[in-house]
Chains A and B, each alone.
With several copies, the nearest count.
Chain A
Amino acid sequence: MTAIDTISQREAEVVEEFALFDEWLDKYEHIIELGKSLSGVDPEFRTDHWKVKGCQSQVWLQPGTEGDLVVFKADSDAAITKGLVALMVRVLSGQPAEAIARAPLGFLESIGLREHLSPTRANGLASMVKQMKLYAAAMSGRGNEGGQDG
């Protein structure tokens, strides 16, 4: 079974959307806007335990499943980070575990944000993606058992 919209379809959508911006300022304003639409994590996930390590800004990540699909909620206390996090959630959440674990995520390169994926970056987006893939791998390992508390 495959998702109606695949990860690569979603990536293509994002790339198209960002093609509108020449200026870094416009791009970051858009990223910040995206962050504002993020629903955030449930209160019990806004704890140290669910925090992604290695960020100067704080990032919380809440994994879960819906049927066969892995879903993520996330939040951050910094606006740019929150926008980046929203982008990742938009592309990966609601996809099959295997697809998430394997996703090359080339779109960050295409929209000129590849640097943010560097593990040396203070926002820790790399750590977040790693964490999302770990959760996905864990879920796919468990097959269809589901459960919210990954």
Chain B
Amino acid sequence: MSAVFSEAEIAEIRGRFPILSRQVHGKPLVYLDNAASSQVPSSVIDAMSDFERNHRANVHRGVHKLSQEATEVHEGVRDRVASLLGAACREEIVFARGATEAINLVACTWGATNLRPDSVVLVGELEHHANLVPWQILSSRIGFRIEKIPALDDASLDQAAYRALLERHHPALVAVQHVSNAFGTVHPVADMASAAHAHGALILVDGAQSVPHRSVDVRALDCDFLAFSAHKMHGPTGLGVLWARKELLDAMPPWQGGGDMIDKVSFSGTTFHEPPWRFEAGTPHYVAAAGLHAALDFLEEIGIGRVHAREQELLAHAHEVLGAIPGLRILGTAPDKEGVVSFVLDGIHHYDAGMFLDQMGIAVRTGHHCAQPAMERFGVTGTIRASFSVFTTEEEIDRLAAGVVRLQRVLA
């Protein structure tokens, strides 16, 4: 059925994910909430357990063997992330708690030093709250203006309006998602980046929903900042990445203070370490490094290109079967999408739908998906969202469709 994988390959991939053998309410789990948190293959779980069992120790400056080993795992994954993203050097990779913290870091360092009361920041209308609220909080301190890049009816961003906003405001920064978590739209961030640069703006790309699903090269995008979370790419929770151009990081003041981010500390004055460590205060979540190594192994072995291609097949199938259901309306119909289908049902609250699907063993996300302005744009309080993974099957999507039809009978 798939042109990317054989049945046997799909079965083999599914076999790596222990959670897929779970039953929920007596039915086999259909996990379609991958955009919220992806699942982990055994190799990732085992890598972290093995690390805890054999190598656990606090990293950096420890002379003893365990600390050396842990440091090598931790700093080693920085190299791998750097090459995954096509970064110029490993020092461009800053670890944070997640995409959210990564974006807050940019706001509180680059933003706090470069934005002025008369600055303008352009923010996409579909952004996850993680890429809007940090700018609002900073704006309440500094006083700059936030202008919205409006979305069109297909949940793409209005590129003409974007260019007009650049012309009119000469913004200092454009903060935009690569892929919409609410609707799946892939935005043309490379084009948006060159337009931003042509108008003297920097561009921050929220890659939380792109890096796990397609090859993302920061040089090809030519962006300035990129953020994402490991837990959405078959990796550990509590770990995220900020990539930023070296020149920018070098000029950014520290944010959080503590261990590891300093050079010399005294009561009379403190100097700070080089990037990226300047931005990594405190004991890092070093066990996660072992997990991220294994997650990257998994993605490399499967191939991110094949992950993407497979998810495109699933997306097409989902649009077909869900799109055929009367009373179901898909939000997000732009041509370029990742594996996310968001929909509403006539006369049925998304919460009720989610509850019913759950009883059928089908895990979807319902509600505003941390993108309330995007919901408002489409005049809804929330949607029902199915989001796919490389292990998702057409049968699972069919079960979702059948579940929707069944719940419509009861609820509509």
Contacts and interface: CB of A to CB of B under 8 A. Distances in A.
Given A25-B410, A77-B349, A79-B352, A118 B68 contact: yes
Contact of B351 (A25, A29, A53, A123): A123
B280 to A, nearest CB: 14
A45 interface: no
Nearest to B26: A24
Given A24-B359, A120-B72, A56 B411 contact: no
Given A120-B75, A122-B367, A81 B68 contact: no
Nearest to A58: B381
A120 B72 CA distance: 6
Nearest to B69: A120
B361 to A, nearest CB: 11
Nearest to B263: A53
A122 B63 contact: yes
Nearest to A119: B75
Interface string A39-72: 0000000000000010011100000000000000
A139 interface: no
B10 to A, nearest CB: 30
Contact of A78 (B61, B75, B349, B410): B349
B410 A28 contact: yes
A77 B349 CA distance: 7
Contact of A115 (B68, B75, B351): B68
Contact of A121 (B68, B263, B381): B68
Interface in A87-117: 115
Nearest to A123: B351
Contacts of B349: 57, 77-79, 81
Interface in B53-76: 59-63, 68, 71-72, 75
A24 B352 CA distance: 14
B134 interface: no
A32 B410 contact: yes
Contacts of B25: 24
A78 B351 CA distance: 7
A128 interface: no
Given A78-B352, A119-B75, A120-B72, A56 B359 contact: no
B382 interface: yes
B68 A56 contact: no
Contacts of B62: 122
B355 A28 contact: yes
User: Which of A25, A32, A81, A122 counts the most chain B CB atoms within 10 A?
Assistant: A122
Interface in B361-384: 366-367, 381-382
Contacts of B350: 56
A103 B272 CA distance: 32
B17 interface: no
A80 B355 contact: yes
Given A28-B359, A119-B75, A122-B62, A80 B367 contact: no
A56 B352 contact: no
B263 to A, nearest CB: 8
Given A56-B367, A118-B68, A80 B60 contact: no
Contacts of B274: 53
Contacts of B359: 24-25, 28
A122 B356 contact: no
B80 to A, nearest CB: 15
A51 B101 CA distance: 31
Contacts of B352: 32, 57, 78-81
Closest 10 CB pairs of A and B: A78-B349, A120-B71, A57-B351, A78-B351, A79-B352, A56-B367, A122-B61, A56-B351, A80-B352, A78-B352
22 contacts: A24-B25, A25-B359, A28-B356, A53-B274, A56-B61, A56-B63, A56-B350, A56-B351, A56-B366, A56-B367, A56-B382, A57-B349, A77-B349, A79-B352, A80-B352, A80-B355, A81-B351, A118-B68, A118-B72, A120-B75, A122-B354, A122-B367
Given A24-B359, A56-B63, 11 more contacts: A24-B25, A25-B410, A32-B411, A56-B382, A58-B381, A77-B349, A78-B352, A80-B351, A120-B71, A120-B72, A121-B68
